[in-house]
Amino acid sequence: MLAGLAAMVSCNKNEGPELDLKPSVICHQAISGTAMNGEKIVVSASNISSSTEVTVKFGKEQTLTRKGAGTISYAFEKPGSKTITVTMSPEEVEKQTFKVYIEKLDALQVLAQKLKANPNLCLTMAHRGNSSDWSIPENSLGAIEKCVADKVDIMETDLYTTKDGVLVVSHDASLNRETDGSGNISSKTLSQIKSLHLKDRNGNVTDYQMLTFDELLDACKGRIYVNVDIGDRDADIPTVVTMIEKKGMTEQVLVYCNDKTKIQAAFKTNPNCNVYSPTGGSSTSLVEAGLPGNIYFTQCTWNPTTAEASRTGKVDSGKQPTSASAVATAVANGTIITVNAIYTLNTAQFWPKDFKREQVVDIFKTFPATQCLHVDTPAEARNALLAEGYALLNN
């Protein structure tokens, strides 16, 4: 199409300036400078003749060639600093060299393949970054560090937009519960929000400030997977997905979308986006809209048995367990099943000590395909999983 446009402009030189289409080479991951382990590094060559041979050396690991414009991709098998060199014959573009650092963390699609290959492998996801340490505010820098220290696999978080258009990390639309301020996030500028301090889970004011989405991504980069919940939040999906892509974290961040329209918006912004959704109909939309061959995560909700509920606390009747048929649909679609066990009990009653082997047994009895637990106490969930003989990523 571009070549045809160039020819058309050349034939009409007297009517305007000639379009100059220069040969070019781009390494997409070199823009951010990083990629996850196993993520495909993509090199694109454009505006070259069909007879030109393009050679790409991916460090010392692999050399690939093609003729004419197009892409060449390769996934490095080991982390570390990599040099990618591109040459052409006959020469249309000077030798190009790109640097990319490969993180130790597996690309999400690589992780998904590992989960599929080993049904006994189970992840833990920290709801709002929470842990058994109630002195650390949810969704804070301290929460991220605690998740990393406890070897939690995924940190779940939520996004809202300030009055001046900045994405900030908060579960609530209001500042009242989480900070020493008041009012809605949407009515405050970032400067006003940064003047406030976060409260811990006991309601005490701390030295922590609310994070911007940019700050959260920087703190998590290459260290822990992130699940960004924008299901019922006011965060703009294209903005969120684009920020993740620019950070080079597409294969590190899950984007939770709770309906078909949002799923499609995420994939339209970046087809490589790792979207995460509820089970059932949403999982069907997820697979249909996503790239062929990709594996996605879907989430169902668990409630304890009557005996378990009476022992540990009051069941939240507002959060009903997901039906077996909805989970069966998600399994049939080939998705990874995550169980949401965070709203199962009344928040005030669900203390860290309560997540024991009984909960894990009940969850896997209800949903045998489970391969990730989304909880407020991930360290306790890890211990319970180990006690029941499940395999963990970081052990």
Closest CA to 128 of 117, 136, 120: 136
Closest CA to 256 of 279, 246, 248, 268: 279
Residue 5 has pLDDT above 70, yes or no: no
Determine contact, residues 196/140, Cβ cutoff 8 Å: no
- Tens of pLDDT, residues 291-319: 999 999 999 988 765 555 545 555 555 66
Q: What is the CATH number of domain 108-387?
A: 3.20.20.190
Q: How far is CA 124 from the centre of its chain?
A: 14
Determine contact, residues 292/267, Cβ cutoff 8 Å: no
- Tens of pLDDT, residues 47-95: 999 999 999 999 999 999 999 999 999 999 899 999 999 999 998 889 9
Instruction: State the amino acid at position 347 in one-letter form.
Output: T
Q: What pLDDT, on the 0 to 100 scale, is given for residue 297?
A: 98
- Phi/psi for 204 (5° steps) reads -85, 140
Q: How far is CA 79 from the centre of its chain?
A: 19
Mean of per-residue pLDDT scores for the chain: 89
Helices (H), the chain: 2-10, 28-32, 108-117, 141-149, 190-194, 213-220, 237-246, 260-269, 281-289, 306-312, 324-332, 357-366, 378-387
Determine contact, residues 196/271, Cβ cutoff 8 Å: no
Contacts of 192 (CB under 8 A, 6+ apart): 181
Residue 350 has pLDDT above 80, yes or no: no
User: Are domains 2-104 and 108-387 of this chain identical in fold?
Assistant: no
Which of 19-28, 42-51, 132-141, 266-275 is least confident? 19-28
Q: What pLDDT, on the 0 to 100 scale, is given for residue 2?
A: 31
Residue 360 has pLDDT above 60, yes or no: yes
DSSP 8-class letter at 77 = S
For the chain, give the percent of residues with pLDDT over 90.
76
The torsion of the CA quartet 206, 210, 215, 219, rounded to 10 degrees, works out to 40
CATH superfamily for 2-104 is Immunoglobulins (2.60.40.10)
Neighbours of 256 (CB within 10 A): 22
Query: How much is the CA Rg of the chain, to the nearest whole Å?
Result: 24
Q: What pLDDT, on the 0 to 100 scale, is given for residue 232?
A: 83
Residue 120 has pLDDT above 70, yes or no: yes
For 172-183, what is the mean pLDDT? 96
Which of 212-216, 260-264, 342-346 is least confident? 342-346
Read off the pLDDT band of 4 (50, 70, 90): very low
- Tens of pLDDT, residues 16-59: 444 457 899 999 999 999 999 999 999 999 999 999 999 999 99
Instruction: State the amino acid at position 326 in one-letter form.
Output: A
Which of 232-246, 271-285, 350-364 is least confident? 350-364
Q: What pLDDT, on the 0 to 100 scale, is given for residue 309?
A: 52
Would you list the domain boundaries of the chain? Answer: 2-104, 108-387
Q: How far apart are alpha carbons 239 and 233 in whole angstroms?
A: 13
Q: What pLDDT, on the 0 to 100 scale, is given for residue 132?
A: 85
Q: What pLDDT, on the 0 to 100 scale, is given for residue 341?
A: 84
